């Protein structure tokens, strides 16, 4: 079961144009395109006539014509032409989804259109800000449930094991993390104090001595996480909120969109406030960090396969599960609320 | 559920020889071969001993020997030898199917053998007639239910959308089609009057001006269709049945045999009465028309996938569905009759 | 349903080292490795924390550390370290399986560890004896139930059909085989007397005239078979147990381990007492006999596919089924006993 009344990332802005894009979201086939004016449109990707995916059709002006018998649909999903017959029955329509474009992503609202409030899109303003660079790698298709991705993002322990060769350092396990819960947010906070910077950060920030390293993850259900990585000369007050001396800020934005219950469109990007416009740094994020994400993909897909092989097998929880478990409970409560009789009455 | 008491095309004549051919028909594994005298034989492709496909065995004279423990079966399906034992129990036999060879196709009867009347094979005499050329492309395996193929053949609207680049013309939608029902036949009839011929027909018939173009489909359940394409100089009376001046007749014969409920062996061929023996024309049918059929395959397979993804989803019917719906109703009635208690009593 | 209280071959000795090996046995994911001292270890291949296969982790000394959040397990399956927390709950453990190394194979006990008696490993001493050569080809993964493999091994009739081109001869069918049943053993015995040796044996034993050829299969449930092939100059008393003149002994050892109910890890090897150290002979077994086994694989996989296509279809038994049927009955009785309430009480 998914949380329906939420925005999800449907595509990168660059993926949408005047050719229909087919994408399954929350197990629903969706077709995305842009009108002549460039506005994004999302419709049910199934012709109401004989079920051909509308994504096999062609765009005509602001409308989409089915590639089989030529029914034409406007951006609201209404059928506006049936070849060979003058009248159009009112049931001749497909579902249309609210969409908006923000931070270079196309966001889609999968629930009740009346509740599609643009303010509910997570506030990731750095992605659009001139003082920050935004690295926008292609989405990765991952064969796992999207919550496994959020679990992964909300856990920094695994850096030492999954990413031992890249960004992980053995020091991580020594510093306990604190989990904070807010209304619709789970925060995981850890400061690694007075330790050498890992190689990738050393190269990025030019640190000579030890650093204080903040690892803060803010997770907003159903699936939005920001991993803040802060690296500042040790002793200069970073854990207390002081910005001083050599410092770099790097945020990994994660938006794993459920394709189905067992597959995910993993959208992500990196924003940083250092070495803007530096080609080498850009390459490191475009390629090096994507390699890191792919280390996670191998783990996530193996985990999904094993969960499917042994569905009800017992499991234990450990300390580092506090934040992922808090996020899962928060989401479960939201889904339950959405499906309660009270919600149905209110709607 | 399939109509069992019917002929189906099992193979091209050229596919059958002295090596067993395995083919699943109506979800039943069948093995086909020819006796020493050349007669086609069709048996259940599952040894009654330990289930090895008999198609993995070898032909000996008129008989087929299993490739595992050597049981030998004659063309009636009776086991005639069990290595290592003198007596053969009466249950040692596999099912045999009535088969016949006509129009270069091997036809198989999938129901009660006592009712396998050769006169029930559709009358497609042009395929054997010296005044007609018969182009016989390889069967296409299509991942869709066979009724989707018949729907497609019984609809000429889609030419404008699916085949826009090849045989379709925008004019099609302007001329309404009439649907006629007979006892075991559905006919769809449309005349496109006083219009330019599409490129492929122009090349074939050498028309200089506008033409009258007849598109007539005759469908016989469960799955036999002939698309008659008639092209004649406009004003010369073609729609009234007058044959005069420049004229070409082209028939597309369709026999989509169900492999399973979701896959089809699509047998088809083209007969024509013009440019017999002309290599260029032959190539056009052998290659150009097969390309056209493959445009349909992409649509049919996408449609099947979507029907499986959203099985009970609502759909609307439009005018051009009259003929396909009539065919579906006719077949459904025949299948119901075949499975009624009365039918069981009569049998 | 499998017989659980039994040894099964899990791997060749050479497959195990200091890198974890993942292998599914009796539908259970297992991870195998060697301790620093070389002792084989087999654990459940699913971390009790978040289900990552432990085979994706790394060996540290005698222990295995999970590649996700770093839980460390010892050879008994107990968790001995949880990064980031001092205490380890008692449920933090994975199953460990008794294992032993014998005849170059790693054997695993899939049932109650208390009953894992090393004496229950079949006695295949030739495989370790200096007067015998042991050819040890790689395991073949076969997409069929393991009992189909045993059926195949317990039937020598099929040599004439499946292996007609290699080791089969038409003479086989003429000589009846006798089936003997002992407590936990089925024996199939056949002597082909005064016939030419098949090409492969001729080359191996240098026979000039006719031979007596013994084909004796001893099968021990659940899945262990030895095919004894004896070839001796005819008239010298081989069927009566006399060893004289030119004679070769060759045993094919078969240990098809169920991966799942429909797939098998087929371990096998050949022992012989002739031409030890002869490179050409070794090649013949290493390559020629593996080709023969692969002829069976094609048959076995086709049989499995057909059994899945037509699950309940009727079948007949013939004379040569006596031994395979005896083996199946013996195994079924053992599985039933293992699952009876009495067995549960005794355990
Ligand atoms: S399927 Fe779309 S118009 Fe017919
Ligand atoms: S399976 Fe055909 S003879 Fe045994
Ligand atoms: S899954 Fe193994 S330690 Fe978490």
Q: What is the mean pLDDT of residues B206-210?
A: 88
**What Rg, from alpha-carbon coordinates, does chain A have?**
22
The answer on A114 and A130 residing in a single domain is: no
CB B87 within 8 A of CB B81: no
Q: For residue C164, what pLDDT is reported?
A: 73
The segments of chain C whose pLDDT lies below 50 read none
CB A304 within 8 A of CB A148: yes
The answer on C143 and C176 residing in a single domain is: yes
Query: Residue B208 above 80 pLDDT?
Result: yes
Between A176 and A111, residue with greater pLDDT: A111
Q: Does B336 fall in a domain?
A: no
Between the CA of A270 and the centroid of ligand 3 the distance, in Å, is 27
Q: For residue C345, what pLDDT is reported?
A: 63
Contact C162 B67 (CB under 8 A): yes
The answer on B288 and B139 residing in a single domain is: yes
Contact A161 C66 (CB under 8 A): yes
Between the CA of C113 and the centroid of ligand 2 the distance, in Å, is 40
> Which residues are CB-neighbours of A183 under 8 A, at least 6 positions away?
none
The answer on B131 and B46 residing in a single domain is: no
- SS3 of chain A: the string is CCCCCCEEEEEEHHHCCCCCEEEEECCEEEEEEECCCCCEEEEECCCCCCCCCHHHCEEECCEEECCCCCCEECCCCEEEEECCECCCCCCCECCEECEEEECCEEEEECCCHHHCCHHHCCCCHHHHCCCCEEECCCCEEECCCHHHHHHHHCCCCCHHHHCCCCCCCHHHHHCCCEEEEECCEEEEEEEEEEECCCHHHHHHHCCCCCEEEEEEEEEECCCEEEEEEEEEECCCCHHHCCCCCCEEEEEEEEEEEEEECCEEEEEEEEEECCCCCCHHHHHHHHHHHHHHHHHHHHHHHHHHHHHHHCCCCCCCCCHHHHHHHHHHHHHHHHHHHHCCHHHHHHC
Helix (H, G, I), strand (E, B) or coil at B34: strand
Pick from C99, C136, C132, C76: nearest CA to C10: C99
Q: For residue A6, what pLDDT is reported?
A: 98
Q: Does C2 fall in a domain?
A: no
Residue B191 is part of a domain; what is its CATH number? 3.90.380.10
- Measured in angstroms, the CA of A170 and the nearest CA of chain C are apart by 10
Q: For residue A70, what pLDDT is reported?
A: 95
The tens digit of pLDDT for each residue in A92-131 reads: 999 999 999 999 999 999 999 999 999 999 999 999 999 9
Pairwise CA distance, residues A188 & A178, whole Å: 6
Q: For residue C170, what pLDDT is reported?
A: 52
Task: Tell me whether residue B71 is exposed, middle or buried, using C-beta atoms within 10 angstroms of its C-beta: 0 to 12, 13 to 18, 19 or more.
Answer: buried
- Structure tokens belonging to residue B230: 């008639």
Between B202 and B254, residue with greater pLDDT: B254
Q: For residue B296, what pLDDT is reported?
A: 94
- Strand residues in B201-262 grouped as ranges (E): 211-220, 224-233, 247-260
Residue A38 is part of a domain; what is its CATH number? 2.102.10.10
Q: What is the mean pLDDT of residues A129-149?
A: 96
CB A212 within 8 A of CB A193: yes
Contact B53 C173 (CB under 8 A): no
Domain that holds residue C25: 7-119
Between the CA of C57 and the centroid of ligand 3 the distance, in Å, is 9
Pairwise CA distance, residues A47 & A66, whole Å: 7
Q: How confident is the model at residue B341 (pLDDT cuts 50, 70, 90)?
A: confident
Q: How many CB atoms lie within 10 A of CB C344?
A: 9
Contact A67 B151 (CB under 8 A): no
The answer on B137 and B64 residing in a single domain is: no
- For B56, the closest of C173, C176, C302 (CB atoms) is C302
Q: What is the mean pLDDT of residues B293-298?
A: 93
Q: For residue A169, what pLDDT is reported?
A: 59
Pocket of ligand 1 (CB under 6 A): A 47, 49-50, 52, 66, 68-71
Q: What is the mean pLDDT of residues A73-82?
A: 98
Count the domains in chain B. Answer: 2
Pocket-testing residue among A31, A47, A93, ligand 1, by greatest number of atoms within 8 A of Cβ: A47
The answer on B113 and B229 residing in a single domain is: no
The answer on C143 and C209 residing in a single domain is: yes
Residue-averaged pLDDT of chain B: 93
Q: How confident is the model at residue A223 (pLDDT cuts 50, 70, 90)?
A: very high
Q: For residue A5, what pLDDT is reported?
A: 98
Q: Which of A66, A100, A119 is the last residue of a domain?
A: A119
Q: Does B23 fall in a domain?
A: yes
Helix (H, G, I), strand (E, B) or coil at C224: strand
Contact C92 A302 (CB under 8 A): no
Between B157 and C29, residue with greater pLDDT: C29
Q: Does B339 fall in a domain?
A: no
Query: Residue B291 above 70 pLDDT?
Result: yes
Using an 8 Å CB-CB cutoff, list residues of chain A that contact chain B: 29, 45-46, 48-53, 56-57, 65-71, 82-85, 89, 91-92
Query: Residue A345 above 70 pLDDT?
Result: no
Q: For residue A157, what pLDDT is reported?
A: 81
Pocket-testing residue among C47, C56, C73, ligand 3, by greatest number of atoms within 8 A of Cβ: C47
Minimal-distance CA residue to ligand 2 atom 1 = B50
* Beta bridge partners of residue B134, listed in sequence order: B271
CB C244 within 8 A of CB C268: no
Pairwise CA distance, residues C315 & C333, whole Å: 22
Q: Does A342 fall in a domain?
A: no
Q: For residue C270, what pLDDT is reported?
A: 95
| For testing contact with chain B, the best of C215, C306, C325 (most B CBs within 10 A) | C306
The answer on C238 and C204 residing in a single domain is: yes
Contact C151 B52 (CB under 8 A): no
Q: Does A341 fall in a domain?
A: no
Q: Does C87 fall in a domain?
A: yes
Q: What is the mean pLDDT of residues B14-38?
A: 97
Strands A7-12, A105-109: parallel, antiparallel or unpaired by DSSP? antiparallel
Half-sphere exposure of residue C198: CA atoms within 13 angstroms, side-chain side: 18
Which residues from C are below 8 Å from B59, CB to CB? none
Minimal-distance CA residue to ligand 1 atom 4 = A69
Q: How confident is the model at residue B169 (pLDDT cuts 50, 70, 90)?
A: low
Query: Residue A200 above 60 pLDDT?
Result: yes
Which residues from C are below 8 Å from B66, CB to CB? 161
Query: Residue A52 above 60 pLDDT?
Result: yes
Q: How confident is the model at residue B346 (pLDDT cuts 50, 70, 90)?
A: low
The answer on C90 and C175 residing in a single domain is: no
CB C146 within 8 A of CB C256: yes
Contact C52 A320 (CB under 8 A): no
Lowest mean pLDDT among A56-65, B20-29, B195-204: B195-204
Lowest mean pLDDT among A16-30, A62-76, B94-108, B196-210: B196-210
* Beta bridge partners of residue A82, listed in sequence order: A85
CB B82 within 8 A of CB B75: no
Chain A: partners with 3+ C-beta pairs within 8 Å: B, C
Query: Residue B347 above 80 pLDDT?
Result: no
Q: What is the mean pLDDT of residues A329-345?
A: 89
Q: Which of A87, A102, A119 is the last residue of a domain?
A: A119
The answer on A159 and A35 residing in a single domain is: no
Contact C49 A158 (CB under 8 A): no
DSSP state string for B77-124: SBEEEBTTBS---TT-B--EE-EEEETTEEEEE-S-GGG--GGGS---
B222 cis-preceded (ω within 30 degrees of 0): yes
Q: Which of C89, C119, C149 is the last residue of a domain?
A: C119
The answer on A115 and A200 residing in a single domain is: no
> Which residues are CB-neighbours of A293 under 8 A, at least 6 positions away?
A137, A140, A266, A268
ipTM metric: 0.91
Q: For residue C51, what pLDDT is reported?
A: 98
Q: What is the mean pLDDT of residues B70-92?
A: 95
Pairwise CA distance, residues B48 & B66, whole Å: 10
Q: Is B186 in the pocket of ligand 2 (CB under 6 A)?
A: no
Q: Does A343 fall in a domain?
A: no
Q: For residue B172, what pLDDT is reported?
A: 58
Q: For residue B201, what pLDDT is reported?
A: 77
| For testing contact with chain A, the best of C51, C56, C85, C89 (most A CBs within 10 A) | C51
- Which residue in B has a C-alpha nearest to residue A69's C-alpha? B158
Minimal-distance CA residue to ligand 3 atom 3 = C69
- For A161, the closest of C48, C67, C82 (CB atoms) is C67
The answer on C98 and C239 residing in a single domain is: no
The tens digit of pLDDT for each residue in B96-123 reads: 999 999 999 999 999 999 999 999 999 9
Q: What is the mean pLDDT of residues B299-306?
A: 98
Q: How confident is the model at residue A329 (pLDDT cuts 50, 70, 90)?
A: very high
């Amino acid at each position: 079961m998914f949380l329906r009344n939420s925005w999800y990332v449907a595509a990168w802005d660059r993926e949408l144009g005047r050719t229909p894009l087919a994408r399954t979201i929350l197990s629903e086939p969706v077709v995305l395109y842009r009108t002549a004016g460039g506005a994004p449109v999302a419709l049910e990707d199934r012709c109401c006539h004989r079920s051909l995916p509308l994504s096999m059709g062609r765009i005509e002006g602001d409308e989409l014509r089915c590639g089989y018998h030529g029914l034409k649909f406007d951006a609201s999903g209404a059928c506006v032409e049936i070849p060979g017959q003058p009248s159009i029955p009112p049931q001749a329509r497909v579902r249309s989804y609210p969409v908006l474009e923000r931070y270079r992503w196309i966001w889609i609202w999968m629930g009740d259109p009346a509740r599609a409030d643009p303010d509910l899109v997570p506030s990731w303003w750095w992605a659009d800000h001139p003082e920050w660079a935004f690295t926008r790698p292609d989405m990765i298709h991952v064969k796992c449930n999207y919550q496994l991705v959020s679990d992964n993002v909300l856990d920094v322990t695994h850096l030492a094991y999954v990413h031992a060769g890249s960004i992980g350092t053995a020091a991580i396990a020594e510093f306990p993390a604190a989990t904070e819960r807010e209304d619709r947010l789970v925060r995981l906070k850890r400061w690694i104090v007075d330790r050498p910077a890992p190689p990738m950060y050393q190269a990025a920030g030019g640190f000579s001595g030890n650093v204080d390293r903040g690892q803060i993850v803010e997770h907003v259900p159903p699936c939005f996480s920001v991993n803040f990585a802060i690296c500042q000369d040790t002793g200069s007050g970073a854990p207390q909120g002081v910005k001083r001396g050599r410092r770099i800020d790097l945020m990994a934005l994660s938006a794993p969109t459920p394709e189905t219950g067992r597959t995910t469109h993993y959208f992500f990007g990196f924003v940083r406030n250092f070495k803007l416009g530096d080609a080498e740094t850009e390459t490191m994020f475009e390629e090096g960090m994507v390699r890191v994400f792919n280390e996670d993909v191998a783990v996530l897909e193996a985990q999904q396969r094993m969960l499917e092989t042994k569905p009800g097998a017992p499991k234990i929880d450990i300390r580092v599960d506090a934040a992922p478990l808090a996020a899962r409970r928060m989401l479960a409560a939201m889904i339950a609320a959405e499906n309660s009789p009270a919600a149905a009455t209110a709607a």
